[in-house]
Amino acid sequence: MSETQVSQDQEMQDKLKSLELEQRDEASSIGRLVYWAGVLFALAHIYFNTLGTLSELWVSAIHYSGFALICALMVPAFKASSAGGRRLALTLDIALGVAAIACTVYLILFEDALYDRGVTFITSDWVASFVAIAIALELTRRTTGWFIPSLIVVALTYVFWWGPYINGIFGFAGLSLETVMFRSFFSSEGMFGSIARISWTYVFMFILFGAFLVKSGAGDFIIELSRCAAGRFVGGPGFVAVLGSGLMGSVSGSSVANTVSTGVITIPMMRKAGFPARFSAGVEAAASTGGQLMPPVMGAGAFIMASYTQIPYVEIIAVSTLPALLYFMSVGFYVRVEAMRSHAHAIELDTRSFGEVFKEGWHFLLPLAVLVALLIYGFTPTYAAGISIIAVIVSSWLSKNPMKIKDILDALAQGSRNMATTAILLVAVGLVVNVVAMTGIGNTFSLMVSEWSNGSLFIMLALVALASLILGMGLPVTAAYIVLATLSAPALYNLIAESHLIDLIVAGNLPEQAKVIFMLVDPEKYALLSAPMSQADATALIAQVPGDFKGQLLEQALNPTVLSAALLSAHMIIFWLSQDSNVTPPVCLTAFAAAAIAKTPPMSTGFMAWKLAKGLYIVPLLLAYTNFIGGETPDVLRIFVFALFGLYAFVGFMEGYLEGPLNIALRILSGVAALLMLWPHHSILLDSAGLVLFIALFIYSRKTRSASLQSA
């Protein structure tokens, strides 16, 4: 290897390292301590999720303190260049971790004494609660920056300090500081509430499952399989990036980690095939972002969604499959178009056939099959993840490199390391969720957003997308989803459910029990409900129903399946939109990581990734306006097929290219075809017209390209 190549590789590694947290060396004595602490803590969590009988409050507190210690030892308080500075940082970090453990021990030992005093704080109660919250803020600052700690401080002080000084809808009478500290630390509502419980159950077990998969060699198998499946086609390396990153996303659980692990392979392959560097980096960033949308193991937000909606996780991943496929296909369409335009050529990526690679690694798919089978059979996600971890170990014995005791310990330690920052983040965000619950500000915000949207679902979606983009500049994806879901999901759910109600009224099919509510509101309108009416009249009629009656009206008019689908659609929309912070400038770490590998300008790479990830905005529109979630199977498949071609036509409109270049008129026609197939008009004739138009454009562009190549 030449000195230039070595220099370039070192430069790339330096750029990638700048995107990572400043962590202590794993080979150091502290690194070994973190290793064994991670092993023990992973085993403790497996016990908590299987045989343990401790109270959820205690387990949540133990979960927080253990990961606080691991996180403090992993991520130093400050970067020190001198030996004395490093010793000082280490001393502070050890003290921080020990203090977190002491707070948990205090909670366990003196919880009953606090209740015996009638929940009246003494000095030690104040100290324990303040120190625990301060540690959570400090560790969150180290791992995610200043935004979340600042948000928590603003939220907590709003409750006991400046809330009473605000006039209008956001005014709050206030609670005592003692009440705030009790609910934040000693109760199962704040730090150790539902978000922390989700963290030590679903999230940790699935992150641990992913760590075992990676250690077993499943990640390498996924990349090799993707190479054989797609690598030999024109533009194949781009398809390898899309397919490999999508599959790896279910294993890594992190878009940035996904980008780094697969991008170092796929981006150079795309460049070698003839793709532009910036486009190659954008494809990898966009595909890695979609990894958290891909079942069966989605991002941490999916488990929180299951808790919020009380819809089984297996149902969530079942309805998420086709939307996720649409997203990855939309990125793949960009790859196809760019391959034709850039004259990207096929390259020999692997001399082995798909069958040979699959035969060597088919056993890596067994744990995923076990996971899905257990979820379908009705086992809890934590139990399914635990059994699937065992399945990873057993299935590895069928390979040339079976997992040994050292490999199992490494996977346990790596799972804890991967979880440390997420655990601290989720515990800290629980403080914000608790404030929303205490103050009722979530209902206020939902009412305000509903008023701003003026009953328009499209405006509501635009507001949620804007809020997601702004929050994503400072919050990780999971935290952005939690905040947005807490504040805006109720309003979005109501509008989606009301759209179904409007359809019933327009068709004149409103159930009798629902008509009674309208008779109470306006008896003169009762007779009109038995016959069809225009959509404008139906919308105006619903607007007359007071807010207190709308919930009852929806329950009377719509069956539980429709309401459940509307609720899931609302949360799924927010979950999808919260992913856009990974690829949207000015803060888009996934795109920045890809840019570091491709050696392209980070900001322009971010804009390229944002363009390629347009499925993040189009698919939520389908979720909002169609029966893509909760519809009958034929209807869902129809939506999927036409949306698939609609996305391809949309790419043609955006790029001005399909199989060949499109002039302005043809480009507009491609946009019209996309609109016909994507717009929720519920007309099979319009969908078919759009499909016919697209096929004609596709064939025409292919023929013109062939003719131009022959003439050349």
Q: Concatenated DSSP letters for 410-476?
A: HHHHHHHHHHHHHHHHHHHHHHHHHHHHHHTHHHHHHHHHHHHHTT-HHHHHHHHHHHHHHHHTTS-
With CA atoms as reference, report the closest residue to 604 among 621, 618, 592. 592
CA distance 195 to 12: 37
- Indicate the pTM of the whole model: 0.85
Give the burial class of 697: count Cβ atoms within 10 A of its Cβ; 0-12 exposed, 13-18 middle, 19 or more buried: buried
pLDDT in tens, 657-689: 988 899 999 999 999 999 999 998 888 999 999
* Amino acid 232: pLDDT: 61
H or E segment and range at residue 393: helix 381-396
**What's residue 293's pLDDT?**
87
Question: What pLDDT band is residue 520 in, cutting at 50, 70 and 90?
Answer: confident
User: What CA–CA distance (Å, rounded) separates 406 from 426?
Assistant: 30
Q: What is the pLDDT confidence band of residue 527, given thresholds at 50, 70 and 90? A: confident
Looking at residue 686, what is its pLDDT?
A: 94
Look up residue 524 and give its two tokens: 């003169």
For position 342, what pLDDT does the model report?
81
Q: Which distant-in-sequence residues (6+ apart) come within 8 Å of 711 by Cβ?
A: none
Going by pLDDT thresholds of 50, 70 and 90, the confidence category of residue 261 is: confident
| Per-residue pLDDT, 128 | 96
pLDDT in tens, 180-207: 999 999 998 899 998 999 899 988 998 8
pLDDT of residue 245: 77
**Cis omega before residue 276 (within 30°)?**
no
66 burial via Cβ count (<10 Å: 0-12, 13-18, 19+)? buried
Q: Domain-by-domain residue ranges, the chain?
A: 16-153, 207-403, 440-582, 636-711
Highest mean pLDDT among 93-107, 315-329, 396-410, 528-542: 93-107
Task: State the helix-helix crossing angle for 313-342 and 602-612, rounded to 10 degrees.
Answer: 110
Mean pLDDT in residue range 156-183:
90
**456-477 residue pLDDT tens:** 889 999 988 888 877 776 677 8
- Give me the pLDDT at residue 507, please: 83
- pLDDT of residue 237 exceeding 60: yes
Residue 9 banded pLDDT, cuts 50, 70, 90: low
pLDDT surpasses 80 at 549: no
Tokens of 515: 């008509």
Instruction: Return mean pLDDT, the chain.
Output: 86
> In 3-state terms, the chain is what percent helix, strand and coil (to 5)?
80, 0, 20
Average pLDDT over residues 430-438: 90
Q: Specify the length of the chain in residues.
A: 712
Q: Is the pLDDT of residue 11 over 70?
A: no
Q: At what angle do helices 633-655 and 684-711 cross, to 10 degrees?
A: 40
Residue 12, pLDDT > 70, answer no
What pLDDT is stored for residue 296 in this prediction? 77
Report pLDDT for 708: 67
Q: pLDDT tens digit string along 333-360?
A: 999 899 888 877 666 555 667 777 788 8
Stretch 522-533: mean pLDDT: 75
Predicted local confidence at residue 414, as pLDDT: 92
pLDDT of 10 strictly over 60:
no
